[in-house]
Amino acid sequence: MLLYNSLTRKRDEFIPREAGKVSMYTCGPTVYHYAHIGNLRTYTMEDVLEKYLRYIGNDVTRVMNITDVGHLSSDGDTGEDKMLKGARRENKTVLEIAKYYTDAFFADCEKLHIKLPDVIEPATNCIPEFIKMIETLLEKGYAYEAGGNIYFDTSKLDKYYVFNDFNEEDLAVGVRDSVEEDGNKKNKADFVLWFTKSKFEDQELKWDSPWGIGYPGWHIECSCIASKHLGEYLDIHCGGIDNAFPHHTNEIAQSEATYGHEWCNWWFHVHHLNTNSGKMSKSKGEFLTVSLLEEKGYDPLVYRFFCMQSHYRKNLVFSWENLDNAKIAYEKLVSRIADLNTAEGDIDEKAFAEGKKRFTDALDNDLNTSLAVTALYDVFKLKTNDKTKYELIKSFETVLDLGLLEAAEKINERKAKEAAEENAGVDPELLAYINEKIEARKAAKKAKNFAEADAIRDELLSKGITLLDTREGTKFTIA
């Protein structure tokens, strides 16, 4: 499998440290508000990656954090803790806010068929681990105390900007111009490992530490939660592209300084979901949620399908028109699956292998979900029976997880119910005879034996039975 690595800035064959086993870490949500659909694009593509790694035979252990403390509203360790901001907004405690929005995130994941990771750990569970790593960094000379806080010293690193080709002098301007400078820092790019009361007197969640009562910085949590459950080495770390700097950059700095070796081989970053006005962001006020899509009549799986029609390393433009187009395509795809006759025939192994290869070739090519969807459509073009086509789609769905088979089954159940209601007064033997002829006519038309199809229609007509071909299938009336 060729996969782009943000660390090397090129596509390479993805090879885990231990053959057949993948340790995977994904940055979780800061649970101070609902996840917007841009956030959920990232989790959707991470979900596809995990499911595909399993599909091709790997045993994947995936870990994710829940940020319920320490994430400030700026990149430069200034501004307000987002959790405290959410609590004030809704007049609740931080823990109440965390519980409510964690549950809301899990509900969104369920609607989008995003598998929850094997391990999910809130940051507030791991205070001893944070303190231990910070103590190690202080002992090794990579951290210092200033103004009551503990900072990581980026000047001690040979290279800090690992995801970019910045020069050493860029360390002085490594944060956004709009960020107020923290006067306690030795270098502008240094970042906080632990805040004490010197930061916020009214911080709700605080813990005792060797440096005084306080709370952890944002970046320390992912390094510690990952190592707690996956050890000192990671195969792959995932997140949104906006986390590459400073969050992931800082994770690498503190982890490799702690352990004294390379920490994570592979970095997988999903790019932004944009609207016509730019990147979707909670800070702009209104933002789109899964619940809003549902209120407007969209199945959340249509949004999942929409995400898969673009490559994860390209910005995706959201508009209602684009989502409408995805909805139309999704419903047509479901309808075609519902029309497959899977009752007869065996799996055509040769055709199955051909169809599966197109699918794996697509996803082996840097997780190209757009080409994988094309491979899904190509199934209908295969010169094979419907049973084989259905089983191929079923196989693909273990990765794509678009709910296609379930949606198709609902269509067929509805058709069966409608047919039963329409034919309630028809003699069972006559009904069986008519349905047998309808299926024979359908098979003749599929084989392009139109003379045979016409003969069946005329035979029924001679008995006072008229066939009507509709978009919902063939119906009949009895004179």
Q: For the residues of 43-105, what is the DSSP string, one character each?
A: HHHHHHHHHHHHHTT-EEEEEEEEB-S--BSSTTS-S-BHHHHHHHHHT--HHHHHHHHHHHH
Other beta carbons within 10 angstroms of residue 13's beta carbon come to: 8
What is d(CA 17, CA 284) in angstroms, rounded to the nearest whole number? 41
How many alpha carbons lie under 13 Å from residue 311 in its C-beta half-sphere?
13
Q: What is the pLDDT of residue 166?
A: 47
Residue owning tokens 């405690």: 93
At 165 the pLDDT is 54
The answer for 9, left when phi > 0, alpha when psi is -120 to 50, beta otherwise, is: left
pTM of this prediction?
Answer: 0.88
pLDDT given for residue 471 in this prediction: 60
- Going by C-alpha positions, the residue among 302, 306, 286, 284 that lies closest to residue 294 is 302
Per-residue model confidence as pLDDT tens for the chain (479 residues): 999 999 999 999 999 999 999 999 999 999 989 999 999 999 999 999 999 999 999 999 999 999 988 666 555 556 667 777 787 787 888 888 889 999 999 999 999 999 999 999 999 999 999 999 999 999 999 999 998 899 999 999 999 999 975 444 443 433 433 445 678 899 999 999 999 865 556 677 889 999 999 999 889 999 999 999 999 999 999 999 999 999 999 999 999 999 999 999 999 999 999 887 766 666 555 679 999 999 999 999 999 999 999 999 999 999 999 999 999 999 999 999 999 988 777 999 999 999 999 999 999 999 999 999 999 999 999 999 999 999 999 999 999 999 999 999 999 888 878 777 777 778 888 888 888 998 899 888 888 898 999 999 999 999 888 888 776 678 788 87
Distance separating alpha carbons of residues 255 and 222, to the nearest angstrom: 10
Distance between CA atoms of residues 429 and 427, nearest Å: 6
What pLDDT is attached to residue 168? 46
Answer for the pair 24, 238: CB distance below 8 angstroms, yes or no: yes
Structural domains for the chain:
17-270 (3.40.50.620), 290-407 (no CATH), 424-478 (no CATH)
Burial 98-112 (b: 16+ CB within 10 A, else e): bebbbebbeebbebb
Backbone dihedral angles phi then psi of residue 233, each to the nearest 5 degrees = -125, 140
pLDDT at 425: 75
| pLDDT of 447 | 85
Amino acid 416: pLDDT: 77
Residue 83 has what pLDDT? 74
CA distances from residue 348 to 377, 378, 380, 381 in whole angstroms, order as listed: 18, 16, 14, 14
- The values of phi and psi at residue 309, to 5°, are -85, 0
349 to 153, 208, 346, 353, 410: CA distances (angstroms)? 59, 63, 9, 6, 28
Vertex 59, ends 54 and 62: CA angle to 5°?
A: 85
